[in-house]
A and B are shown apart, each in its own frame.
Chain A
C-alpha cells in the first residue's frame, strides 16, 4: 500500500500540457482505490469496525498507516470500506442518470416541439428544488440505504444528462448522414439505434465522470451531515465528520480520508476534462 502515498502526490503535479502522464496518474489512482475497495475487504483481518483499544487516536505509523480513530479503529481500513459505499452510490447514480437522461434527451432532441418543451419543464422543475435537502428528507423518512441515496442523487443528475444528450441529438439532426437515413425511409428506431446513439454515447459517458464526482461529493456531504449511512458503518463523509471533534489532537482521522476523497474527485475531473478537450473531440467525431 506504499504506492498510495507516491501516486497521491502525482495528480497534483500533472501539467496540463502533458496529458498522457496526467491521465496515467489519474487512472492509476482510481485503479488503486477501486481495487482496494474491491479486494482488501476479502483479506483476513480486515475489519473496519474492530477497535484496537490499546491504541486509540494513534498517529499514522507502522501497523496503522493512516493512524487510528478515537475508538482505535484503523483509518486506512475505514477509508477503504468507505470507498465501497461511495462507489456503490456513484454507480447507482450514474446508472439512473444515464438511463433517465439518455431516454429523455433522445426524446427531446428527436421529437422537438411539444415533447421537448414538456421535458424541458420537467427538468427545470427538478432543478429548482434544493437537491441536498430533498435527499435529506427522503433519508429521514425512509431510512438511510445506499439504494435510496444513490437513486435520488441519480434522479437529480437526470436534467444535466438530458441536456448533454439533447444537445448532441439536436446537432445530429442537421447532419447529412441522419437526414440521408431519414430520406431513404429507414425506420426511426433504427436510425436512433444505428446513427444517433453511437454519437451520443461518448458525450454521455464523458458526463458520467462528472456525475460520479457529484455523487461522491453528495454522498460525502450527506454522511457528513448525519444523513448518510449510520455510524459505525464507514463512508467517506461519515469518517471525516467523526474526526471533526479531534481536529486539534488527531487531525489525521478527518484529513486522511478527506485527502483520498479529494484525490479521487480530482482524478475523475481530470479524466472527464481530458475526454472533453477539443483536441480529443476532433478525433472522436471524425
Chain B
C-alpha cells in the first residue's frame, strides 16, 4: 500500500526540481542579453552608482544560483520584485491579472466541453453515422485553423459584419457581469473551439473502447436505455483522457492566452507577459515564467490525484 504514496512523493520531488531549473533559467535571462541590461534600461547617462544599484536589484552582481535562491526566498514571502517599467510591485500586478486569465481559461474549457461532450456521445453511439462523419471531418478541418486566425475570423464575423459583440476590451465581472460576459465570449470561443476538436476526437475514441467492455454490454443487455447507458456507465470511465488534456491545457494555455489576450486586448497574464518581454522588464518576465511553471506543476499533480478518484484501480496499483 505504500507504493502509491512513494510514487506520489517521487513525482513531487521531480516537480520541485523542474521548478528550480525554471527559476534558474528565468534569473539567468538578463545575462543572455547582448550588452548591459542596466545601460539598456537606464540609458548611457547613468552613473556607476545607479548601474550598481540596478544590477544588485536584478541579482546580476551575484552568481545565478545565489540570485535564484534569494529570489525564491523573497517570493515565498510574497515579494516578486518591482517592475522596471513603472516600479509597481509585481505581486500586485499578477494578483490583478491572474483572475482574468483564469476566468478566460475556465470559460474556454466550458466552451470546449459543451461542444465536445454531446458531439462525442452521439458520434460514439453510432460510429460511422451521419453525426460521426460530419463531426470527424469537421474536427479535422477545424484543427487546421490556428488560434490567431480563428480569433480574427470571429472578430470579422461577429464584431465587424454583424456588430453583435465588442471586438476588444475588458470589463471586470465585479463591475458589470453582463458586459464582462459579452467581452469574455469571443476570447473564450477563440481559446475553446480548437480545444473542442481535440476533446471530441479523444472522448469519442475512449467512449468506443468503453462501450466495448463487458460491464457496459451487460447493462445494455439488461435493456438500459441509450442516454442512461452513455451518461451513467460510459462517460465517467471515458473521461480520464479529458482530465489529462485539460491538465496539459493549463500548461499550454499561457502561450495561447498571450495570443488571445493581445488579440482581444484582455488585461490578463498573457498581455502582461508580452508587454514585459517587449519592454525587457525582467522582474515581470521572471515572475510570469516561474508562476506559470508552478501552475503547470500544480495542474499535473492535480490531474494525478483526480485520476485516482476517477479510477480507483490506479491508486491500488492494478493499472
Contacts and interface: CB of A to CB of B under 8 A. Distances in A.
A187 B134 CA distance: 52
B122 to A, nearest CB: 18
Contacts of B17: 121
Contact of A133 (B147, B148, B149, B288): B288
B146 A266 contact: no
Interface residues of A, number: 45
Contacts of B296: 128
A254 to B, nearest CB: 6
B14 A240 contact: no
Contact of A269 (B140, B252, B262, B285): B140
B156 A255 contact: yes
Of residues A140, A261, A263, which shows the largest number of chain B Cβ atoms within 10 Å of its Cβ? A140
A161 interface: no
Interface residues of B, number: 47
Interface stretch (B102-110, B177-185, B272-280): B272-280
A266 B288 contact: no
B297 interface: yes
Interface string B24-41: 010001001110000000
Nearest to A132: B255
A124 interface: yes
A142 B21 CA distance: 22
B289 A132 contact: no
Given A221-B259, A225-B262, A140 B277 contact: yes
Contacts of A129: 22, 25, 289, 293
A224 interface: yes
B143 interface: yes
B14 A124 contact: yes
B218 interface: no
Interface string B113-147: 00000000000000000000100110011011111
Nearest to B251: A128
B84 to A, nearest CB: 14
B114 to A, nearest CB: 24
A129 B291 CA distance: 11
Nearest to A243: B152
B9 interface: no
Interface stretch (A92-100, A171-179, A188-196, A244-252): A244-252
B251 A130 contact: yes
A12 B141 contact: yes
B254 interface: yes
A90 to B, nearest CB: 14
Interface string A97-132: 000000000000000000000000100110111111
A142 B33 CA distance: 7
A224 B144 CA distance: 17
A16 interface: yes
A188 to B, nearest CB: 29
B29 A137 contact: yes
Given A141-B33, A142-B34, A240-B152, A220 B255 contact: no
B94 to A, nearest CB: 14
Contacts of B285: 137
B18 interface: yes
B258 interface: yes
Contact of B289 (A133, A240, A270): A133
Of residues A124, A213, A258, which shows the largest number of chain B Cβ atoms within 10 Å of its Cβ? A258
Contacts of B21: 125
Interface of B: 14, 17-18, 21-22, 25, 29, 32-34, 133, 136-137, 140-141, 143-149, 152-153, 155-156, 160, 251-252, 254-256, 258-259, 262, 273-274, 277-278, 280, 285, 288-289, 292-293, 296-297
15 contacts: A128-B297, A129-B289, A129-B293, A130-B289, A131-B255, A133-B273, A140-B280, A221-B259, A225-B262, A241-B148, A244-B152, A255-B152, A258-B152, A261-B149, A266-B140
Interface of A: 12, 15-16, 121, 124-125, 127-133, 136-138, 140-142, 213, 217, 220-221, 224-227, 237, 240-241, 244, 247-248, 251, 254-255, 258, 261-263, 265-266, 269-270, 273
Given A130-B258, A140-B278, A247-B155, 7 more contacts: A128-B296, A129-B25, A132-B255, A240-B148, A248-B160, A263-B144, A265-B146
